[in-house]
A and B are shown apart, each in its own frame.
Chain A
Amino acid sequence: MNDMIEVRNIKKQFGERVVIEGVTAMIRPGQCNLIIGASGSGKTVLMKCLVGLLQPDEGEVIYDGKNFTKMRPEEKTEVRKEIGMLFQGSALFDSQTVEQNVMFPLNMFTKDSYKNKMNRVNEVLDKVNLKDTNKKFPAELSGGMKKRVGIARAIVLNPKYLFCDEPNSGLDPQTSLLIDRLIKDITTEYKITTVVNTHDMNSVMEIGNYILFLHQGKKEWEGNNKQIIFNKNQKLNEFIFASEFLSDAKDMRMLEETGKIANDRNMDELTEEDAPTLIPPPIGDENKE
C-alpha cells in the first residue's frame, strides 16, 4: 500500500541500556498515527529510528515496501525528501526570518522562480494561520507560532509523511488544541501519513486514528481513540487515567456506554447517583467548606 510505514521488531540500545525493544507496528497511511507513552518510554528514540536520525540495532523500517534501514545514504536522502518533521523545540533557523525558514527547503530542492517559491511560502503560512509574520525572526514569535512555522516548513515541499515530535510541549491547552486540529486538517487535506509523538491525552482523543502505546521501550497496546477509553490494559490505564479528571471522564464514558446517562447530557446534568465523584467543584469554590 502506498505511503505505508512498517516497523518490524525494532531494537535500539545506548551502551548497556536498551531503550526500545521488539517494537512492531503498521503506520496507517493518510491518517494520524500517535506514539504515546510516559517520559523515557522510548517515543522519541522510536521516531528518530523511523526517520533515520538513529540507526536501529535490530529490526527494520519499511517505507512503501523499501527497507529504509538498509538503504545507502543517498537512497535515504531521497526518502527523506518526502518527509517533513516538526521538532519538539520547532528547530527553526535563528538567523533566518519566518519566510526564509519556510523557503529554505524550496531553495534547496526546487529550481522554481522566486515568485513561485514566495507564493508557495505564503500559501503554507496562510494554511497554518500565520499572516504578517514573514519578516519576523523566530526569537520574536511565541511558542505556538514557532510550532506553526515548523509545520509550515515541514509541509512546504508537499511531503508524503509528516512526523511531529511532541507538538504540544510547552503550549497552553487552547494552543495545543489549535495545533492538534491543524495537524489533523493537514493530514486530511494533503492526504499525508502523519506520525505524532505525544503524551498529551487531549491530542490522543482529538486526532488519534491509530495509537501505539509504549511502556519501558516495548509495545504495550495499539488501537484507536475510541478503543483506548475501554481498553483493559492496566499499564495503559495507569498512563491515561493518571489524572483524576480523566478518570472521571472515563466513568462518564462508561455511563454513556452502559446507557445510564444519555450521550448528549453534559457534566452539569449529572447527579450524584450517576457518578458520585464525577462533578468537580465550580472554579473558585475549591477552598469552600
Chain B
Amino acid sequence: MYWKEFIHQCSEIGIGSLGIVVIISVFMGAVSTVQTAYQLVSPLIPKSTIAQVVRDTVILEFAPTLICIVLAGVVGSKIASELGNMRVSEQIDALEIMGINTKTYLVLPKILAALLVIPMLVIIAAGMGIWGGRLAATAANILSGATYDKGLLEGFMPYNVKFAMYKAYSFAFIISSIPAFFGYYVQGGSLEIGRASTKAVVTSCIFVLFADYLLAALLLPK
C-alpha cells in the first residue's frame, strides 16, 4: 500500500510536472544563447564559447535552481493543499483512527518520490535547455550546429553535473518537506488551506535560494 502511494506520487510529481519543465527549459536555453551572443561582441572570443557559457549556466544554475523554484510552485502548492484539505475534512483523522501512521503514509511517499523524480526532471531540464540553446543558435543564425556542438565539448567539467545533482537532491527535499509541513498542520477551513499553500511556496522558494547560495559557497572550489 505504501509502495502504491509512492508510485502514485512519482507519477504525480514527475509526469505531472514534465510538460512545464520541458517548456521552461527549452526557452531558458534559447534565451541564454541569444543573450550570451548579444554580450560576447569581441572578435577575439570564439563563437563556440557561447555554447560553453550556455552549457555551464544551464547545468550549474538554471536547470537545478530555476526549475526547482518553478516546481516549488507546481508541486509545493499541490502537496500543501492536498494535505491541508485532508486535514480540514478529517481524512487524516480517519486514517489515524484506522491505526495508520499518517506521516509515514501521506508525507514520506511524497518526500521520497520528490527525491527520486526531481533530480530526473533536473537532468531532463538540463538536456532540454542545452538543446533549446542549439535550436535558437541555428534558428537565429548566431552560430552553426556544428560549432555549438564543438563548444559543448570544450572545457567540460564533470563536477558541474555532480554539483547540479547535489543541488537537485537538496532542493527536492526542501520543496516536498516544507509544503508537507504547512499542509499537514493546517487548522481552519478553505481560507487557511489557501494561506498555507501560499506560505509553503514562498517559504520553499526562500529556502531553495538560501540553500543555493550555501551549496555554492561550500561545494564550489575557490
Contact = CB atoms under 8 A, between A and B. Distances in A.
A and B are partners in one complex rather than unrelated chains? yes
Contacts of A87: 90, 93-94
Contacts of A104: 98
Contact of A109 (B89, B96, B99, B101): B99
Nearest to A93: B91
Interface residues of A, number: 24
Contacts, number: 45
Interface stretch (A34-42, A76-84, A272-280): A76-84
A88 interface: yes
B interface residue count range (under 10 / 10 to 19 / 20 to 34 / 35 or more): 10 to 19
A121 to B, nearest CB: 15
A93 B82 CA distance: 11
Contact of B98 (A78, A81, A92): A81
Contacts of A105: 98
A178 interface: no
Contacts of A163: 97
Interface in B86-140: 89-91, 93-94, 96-101
Nearest to B8: A95
B1 interface: yes
A193 to B, nearest CB: 15
A201 interface: no
Interface of A is mostly: mixed
Interface string A52-87: 110000000000000000000000111011011101
A89 B98 contact: no
A53 B97 CA distance: 8
A80 B98 CA distance: 6
B192 to A, nearest CB: 16
A107 B94 contact: no
Given A80-B98, A109-B99, A91 B1 contact: no
A51 interface: yes
Nearest to B96: A53
A262 interface: no
Contacts of B96: 52-53, 80
A85 B97 contact: yes
A109 B105 CA distance: 14
Contact of A108 (B89, B90, B100): B100
B94 A85 contact: yes
A144 B1 CA distance: 29
Contacts of A107: 1
A107 B98 CA distance: 12
A188 B116 CA distance: 50
Interface string A160-178: 0001000000000000000
Contact of A91 (B89, B99, B100): B89
B88 to A, nearest CB: 9
B90 A83 contact: no
B99 A81 contact: yes
Q: Which of B85, B90, B97: most chain A CB closer than 10 A?
A: B97
Interface of B: 1, 85, 89-91, 93-94, 96-101
What 8 A-B pairs are tightest by C-beta distance, nearest first? A80-B99, A91-B90, A91-B94, A77-B99, A87-B90, A85-B97, A81-B99, A91-B91
Given A80-B96, A80-B99, 7 more contacts: A53-B93, A53-B97, A76-B99, A83-B97, A88-B90, A91-B91, A94-B89
17 contacts: A53-B93, A53-B96, A77-B101, A78-B99, A80-B97, A81-B98, A81-B99, A84-B97, A87-B93, A89-B89, A91-B90, A92-B91, A93-B91, A94-B89, A107-B1, A108-B100, A109-B99
